[in-house]
Structure 1
Amino acid sequence: MNSALERLVVRHTLRLPAPAGPAGDAAAGDRTAGDGAAAARQFDVALMSVGFKLSARLLAELSGRTEETVVATAARTLDTVRELVGDHVRHNVYFADFPAGVPDTADFWTECVAQALSADDTTRARTLAQLRAGHVNLLTLPAYGCYRHTYEEMAAAHDELIASAGDRVTVLHVGAPLDEEATALYLALAGSVTPLGPEHLADLAVLAEHRADGPQPERIPVRENRAVVNMARLRAGRDLLLDTVTDVLRLACALSDGDVTLRERTRFRAPSRPHRRALLAGLDAVVAANPAKLADVTAHREAWKRLGERLHPHEYPQWPHAAQVFAVARGERKAPTLAGRVEELLARDEVAGAAGLLADAAPGMLFRSLDRLLRTAADDKELGGVLAAAERAAPRVSGRVVLSVREHLRNRTGRGGPSRVFVNRTGGAWVTGDTRDPLPPAVTDRLAALLDAETQRRLDVPERLLVDPAVLDVALPLSGRASTAGLGVLPRGSLSPVEGDLLRFFTYWKQTERSTDHDLSALVLDDDYEAVTWLSYTSLATVEGVHSGDMTDAPDGASEFIDLRLGAVRGAFVVPQVHVFSGEPFDRVQESFFGFMLRDADQRGRPFEPRTVRMKSDLRGPGRIALPLAFRRDEEGRWQARWLHLYLKGQPAENRVEGHLVTFGVLVRALVERTPLTVRHLTELMAGAGARTTLWDGRTMPEGPVTFIGLERPDGLAPGSRVITPENLRDLIPA
């Protein structure tokens, strides 16, 4: 289990916990002492082959260990970083010498038909019948959709990769002992003020199981995190952390391996008798302390009724308040909701009264309703009442909600303005016109000033702030669901520069039970978001680049690539995408991921070279079309990546880029024209609060501890420095 915890620490922090093995001792005649340094250097070389490197401190730390310790550490760590970058699998291609040798699409299809006509009698007869009918199903042709060579044969067809100064080098730093690192990671994930993505939530479950008896965060503000922690505490026999009835429902979902976010229907299993008692006792205590919390039951009425069938509350008369929960769910007991009371006030045109009620009872709900309340206000007096309620409630609203409303204001236009784009928790997105009336400038200015002042008041303002300019356009992670697990992944809306001659996309998938075909495509859009061209299995070669060929089955895993010459792109946008053509969707396959590499034109190498990978992102969302990010060329010809992290519903089968050209154009326009709240916003507030801010030149290290914010942790920071990188960017969000 220690190795599993070490793997989590490396993945989340890019720190390698200080090895626990013995130190070498040459003076004592230890024959392995002195070998630790050699093994550490060999470890460093092996890491560089996949785009990683040991920091100077970590190299020194390992050099002082025995050879046996270093070799064992190296084996575990190499496995971890190879998976992080996507090098844990073998990436073959249909055309062995890709990107050379990719034929014209029609010529390739004709060749496949010709081979089928010269195959066995059954295949020849089937192909002739299709030709007579006027169409041929490519999937019936023996030469189509499966590798025609081994991985070793493909690798032999390529020259070695030529090293470039532009290749990625991700530095691994030395950490504290494993127990301290695991505890710190547990506290950071459990106490996160923003929701975690599903991958990080699963990691929290592993950590919580091993830290139930250790230090706990002061607060667990995110309910899903609390459910995961409660499950570990329940199994360890510890007191539960409950303050709403919904906390109990989420815990019940966790016990049944269901969805603690409550978005998906959970099939409840009958809990053990001790767990049943714990759930009912927890419910009883919550309702007894505050009967008004019964109002929360109606939001998940059906789930409560199904859970009641498993808990049998009537068998436990000692907990009568718990029984009331299920009575409300069955409609046998009334529990007026706060939302209902607010709607009654609004129906009587008492807008200021509704705002005042929310300010006292649910300040977060008030802030989420501000736009509606301000639009509903009939006159300046009511507008003033709503704003006064917001000012009174602001100190009790979570920092994440304060910043979310600030981002909303930044993009608030009104009737006739840019289209509105909505992205749900699972990455689904849709666009609609803006039919709202604009808000008065005086109102938006007053509200923006309130939000900025409240954020600034809560920020942990350092005395000295060192900022890498490359991080300023990274979007604040107001939700962990706006990103995915992987390497080099940034939150939705972030911008990052793209420098290189060749941009190569890749996707890999491995099916679980049935034949599965995922298709990699890239759409080129012009300045008006109209389609210029695309690369896909139906268009293998264009002016812009080439496609590696269509793989239609992946029992042992399959890869597809697109090679794009940035200087040849005829449009302003490139939108890579992965389509589920048939079989298992992204969240059902055994494994699925997407990424991109950057190369110089003369680097050569195999189709997949880990040290050229700039981003690798797991694809595990719902929907049948994944849009990880888009690339845009600015007025000066420079390319930038804008991160999307979207999963569109698509069709049940046969999704292709050609079928969604208009949808992609509309969606990309709406997202590109939206301005997210970025790291720049918070650093400016810190500077306004007195932080001495320096933009880092990439070389000079200041003396003394600083707070550093950047894309990667630099080597040489003074002890005691605080480091914020994309791996822990959520720590910037004030509580």
Structure 2
Amino acid sequence: MDNLESLVITRRLRVPVDTPHEAAPGWGEVAARQLDAALLSVGFTCSAALLERLSSLPGEEVVDLGARVVSVVRGLVGDHVQHNAYFVDFPRNVPDTLEFWAGMLHEALLDPVAADRLRGPALNLLELPDYGRYQHTYADLLAAHAELVPLAGDRVTVLDLGGSLRDEARELYFSLAGSEVPPAVEDLAALRALAAFCVASGTGHPERVPVRENRAVLNEVRLAAGLPLLVDTVTDVLRLACGLSGGDVTLAVPTRFRSFRRAERRALLRALDAVATPAGLGDVSRLRERWKRLGERLHPHEHPGFPRAARVFEVARGDLRVAGTGSRVEAALAAGRTAEAVELLENAPGALLRRLDHLLRTGSDERAVFEAVERAVTGASGRVLLSLREHMQNRLVPAAGRVFVNRHARAWTAPDLRPPLAGEVLTRVLAVLDAEIVRRLPDPGELVVDPDALDVALPLSAKAVSPGLGMLPRGSLSAVDGELLRFFVHWREARRRTDYDLSALMLDASYGSPEHVSWTNLANGFARYSGDLTEAPAPHGASEFIDIRLAESTRPIVIPQVNVFSGESFDEAAEAFFGYMTRDAAQEGMPFEPRTVRMKSDLRGSGQIALPLVFLRGDDGHWRVKWLHLYLRGYPQFNRVEDNRLTASLLVRSIVERDYLRVRHLVELWRAKGPSTGRHVTYIGFEASAAPPGARVHTPATLHEVIPA
């Protein structure tokens, strides 16, 4: 139950509260005010409605609930750990880089034991007795810094009153399950817990589960509860088998199947038999080896009542040949039979639209292609329409390069060698897409939009975005308020010594003239590094910071990055997260102050270099942040900002110059529908507390709900 409560608070910024009981006058109110004061210390506050409800509860209940709420929001903002810094006075008294290293070597040479370890052809920094380890306690850091003086610009996030935990869990369950957007791994884990709770408590089931990964997770719970499975393709059954084995339902990584109980085998084979049509068998060969491994566990020969299911494994073994639609399309295109390829793709509208750019470049009959597109748009998902819209609007202007990002947020670039598409062709395609999107958009009633939300990118995929505080989809833009920018990384190693390096790459407006701050260059005229830590043992781990005085920056592009220098990767560490703070220049305080944190999120993925976001100074002199959510492969170890600056700058430029589809475009389409006939209100903004009473609220956490079906 505590896990579900935590999910609701972090995902919805609402506190689930059941119906109040009779309480002694005053005690609940006092406890509620104490909770609000505790929340303010980490940048949160209770809404008036939440305070009123808490005041009506017994004081003991408020204290217990408050302890859980404070623990959750401290973790959300990154305040659940002690953030020490290598240089105790940071950002003051950061030494000159050469003086620092000379001093470290001098101290080491005065120690006979250390001097003996340093003998050899190469200098090992880890052998320096004082390097890379905290030389003071957290209490020493506290004593060296003044208390933060709260200012009006500090972040205050409002926690609103929620309904009962049962109702809040059901709403979050239906929102995640019904999303049109492929989920993050954290969303799948949340969905599994929510589905189990909601099925057990009888709160109902979502009518539509369009995303296959979500469907697989729900099918795990439904199978355990004896409910009908949501299956309409053979791959749905494969995903379910992977989930039941504790494997990857996205099918990105092969799964080692467990032994299934007889009832499970029958259920899987029955579901497979129902969808193994001749057309469906064409999908088997794409994942042939996994089907063969699954067949070894399901023993289809023991169940003669499911003959169509048995054919799936015959195809996987090669005993039965079935040509899939994809292979037939590829063969037609390779032979120059574009009309045949278009005819085949019309049976799969989404696939046709995904190949539209290729079809238009084959020199085929444009009229036939456009006619097929006009028929296909009515059968494709809203996410496919919006994704194609974004792709085509970026074909209007030649790109410096193409950026590719896989489902693990691993990114790479390549020259754009595609021939351009004619302007009139692109204009016609965009008009067809917009017309269909407008037709599908629900009536918003009175539409109220926070202007700051207009530049938030539409969440066409959530795979790369790890949930956290202030997270936005890749390509989103938001303002940076404050004179001092400070970003941070914290990590804690699980089994072996692990060294992460926080660095900053600074570039000019043409993405050249690189400058950096890292462990090899502790400071420049406007940036300072808190010092290098080379290990992060339990229980406290390690933290590193970089300060940027924005008004003094000689570079308009600042790219923070986290490099795995040695040890565990991001997905192996016990904990790893990144974030940034903003402050006024004269504002004192600790290196980490939760009230000034604007964004915090976990680091994950198999890449060795994380590029979370980029800070950009516009022609008006104002700074903005653009969200990247990218990882680079890097080297197995010893990654440094100096070695990856070319790759990083190319990737960042590709993201910065790409025209992402944003809330602004969806609002324009909504308003193109004409006057609304509904009396309700739809609000899109950053804070649910700013919405008009009774409005349908869409914040960044629920923006996936505006993607039309």
After TM superposition, the score normalised by the length of structure 2 is: 0.97
Partner of 1:463: 445
- For residue 552 of structure 1, the aligned residue among 517, 522, 534 is 534
Shift of the alpha carbon at 1:58? 0.9
* Alpha-carbon displacement from aligned partner over 1:120-173 (angstroms, at most 9, x marks no partner): x4322122x14xx3x421111110111111111111111000111110010011
Distance 1:554 1:239 in 2: 48
Equivalent residue letter for 2:267:
A
Distance 1:220 1:611, change over 3 A: same
Please say if residues 53 and 172 of structure 1, whose CA atoms lie closer than 8 Å, have aligned partners that are also in contact.
yes
Partner of 1:184: 171
- For residue 45 of structure 1, the aligned residue among 27, 37, 50 is 37
Partner of 1:446: 428
Partner of 1:318: 305
Shift of the alpha carbon at 1:51? 0.4
* Alpha-carbon displacement from aligned partner over 1:380-433 (angstroms, at most 9, x marks no partner): xx101001001011111000000000000110147x642121112111112222
- Which stretch of the first structure deviates more once superposed, 291-300 or 277-286? 277-286
Partner of 2:377: 394
Distance 1:199 1:474, change over 3 A: same
Distance 1:512 1:384 in 2: 60
Partner of 1:697: none
Please say if residues 454 and 662 of structure 2, whose CA atoms lie closer than 8 Å, have aligned partners that are also in contact.
yes
Partner of 2:559: 575
- Which stretch of the first structure deviates more once superposed, 680-689 or 304-313? 304-313
Q: Any residues of structure 2 matched to 1:295-444 within 5 Å, and which?
A: 295-359=282-346, 361-378=347-364, 382-413=365-396, 417-444=399-426
- For residue 495 of structure 1, the aligned residue among 464, 468, 477 is 477
- Which stretch of the first structure deviates more once superposed, 350-359 or 653-662? 350-359
Shift of the alpha carbon at 1:354? 2.0
Please say if residues 396 and 426 of structure 2, whose CA atoms lie closer than 8 Å, have aligned partners that are also in contact.
no
Distance 2:674 2:335 in 1: 47
- For residue 94 of structure 1, the aligned residue among 68, 86, 91 is 86
Equivalent residue letter for 1:68:
E
Partner of 2:53: 61
Distance 1:146 1:236 in 2: 52
Equivalent residue letter for 2:116:
A
Partner of 2:617: 633
Which structure 1 segments of 5+ residues have no match? 25-31, 694-703
Shift of the alpha carbon at 1:485? 1.1
Distance 1:352 1:65, change over 3 A: same
- Which stretch of the first structure deviates more once superposed, 515-524 or 526-535? 526-535
Please say if residues 247 and 255 of structure 2, whose CA atoms lie closer than 8 Å, have aligned partners that are also in contact.
yes
Distance 1:20 1:143 in 2: 57
Secondary structure of 1:631's match? strand
- For residue 726 of structure 1, the aligned residue among 682, 700, 707 is 700
Partner of 1:644: 628
- For residue 623 of structure 1, the aligned residue among 564, 582, 607 is 607
Partner of 2:639: 655
- For residue 268 of structure 1, the aligned residue among 250, 254, 257 is 257
Secondary structure of 1:176's match? coil
Partner of 2:653: 669
Distance 1:34 1:705 in 2: 38
- For residue 708 of structure 1, the aligned residue among 674, 683, 686 is 683
- For residue 72 of structure 1, the aligned residue among 64, 82, 88 is 64
Shift of the alpha carbon at 1:715? 4.4
Shift of the alpha carbon at 1:320? 2.0
- Which stretch of the first structure deviates more once superposed, 337-346 or 522-531? 337-346
Matched, 1:125 2:116: yes
Please say if residues 489 and 578 of structure 2, whose CA atoms lie closer than 8 Å, have aligned partners that are also in contact.
yes
After TM superposition, the score normalised by the length of structure 1 is: 0.94
Please say if residues 446 and 682 of structure 2, whose CA atoms lie closer than 8 Å, have aligned partners that are also in contact.
yes
Shift of the alpha carbon at 1:346? 2.6
Shift of the alpha carbon at 1:355? 1.6
Shift of the alpha carbon at 1:692? 6.5
Distance 2:339 2:448 in 1: 44
Equivalent residue letter for 2:685:
G
Distance 1:347 1:655, change over 3 A: closer
Aligned length: 704
Distance 2:297 2:46 in 1: 53
- Which stretch of the first structure deviates more once superposed, 507-516 or 349-358? 349-358
Secondary structure of 2:647's match? helix
Distance 1:205 1:440, change over 3 A: same
Please say if residues 33 and 67 of structure 1, whose CA atoms lie closer than 8 Å, have aligned partners that are also in contact.
no
Q: Any residues of structure 2 matched to 1:247-258 within 5 Å, and which?
A: 247-258=236-247
Equivalent residue letter for 2:308:
H
Partner of 1:696: none
Distance 1:312 1:716, change over 3 A: closer
Secondary structure of 2:378's match? helix
- Which stretch of the first structure deviates more once superposed, 151-160 or 267-276? 267-276
Percent identity over paired residues: 54
- For residue 191 of structure 2, the aligned residue among 190, 204, 215 is 204
Matched, 1:232 2:214: no
Distance 1:716 1:629 in 2: 28
* Alpha-carbon displacement from aligned partner over 1:612-641 (angstroms, at most 9, x marks no partner): 000001111221000000011111111110
Shift of the alpha carbon at 1:348? 4.4
Distance 2:273 2:91 in 1: 65
Partner of 2:22: 23
* Alpha-carbon displacement from aligned partner over 1:669-710 (angstroms, at most 9, x marks no partner): 1111101000000000111112579xxxxxxxxxx8521101
Please say if residues 443 and 676 of structure 2, whose CA atoms lie closer than 8 Å, have aligned partners that are also in contact.
no
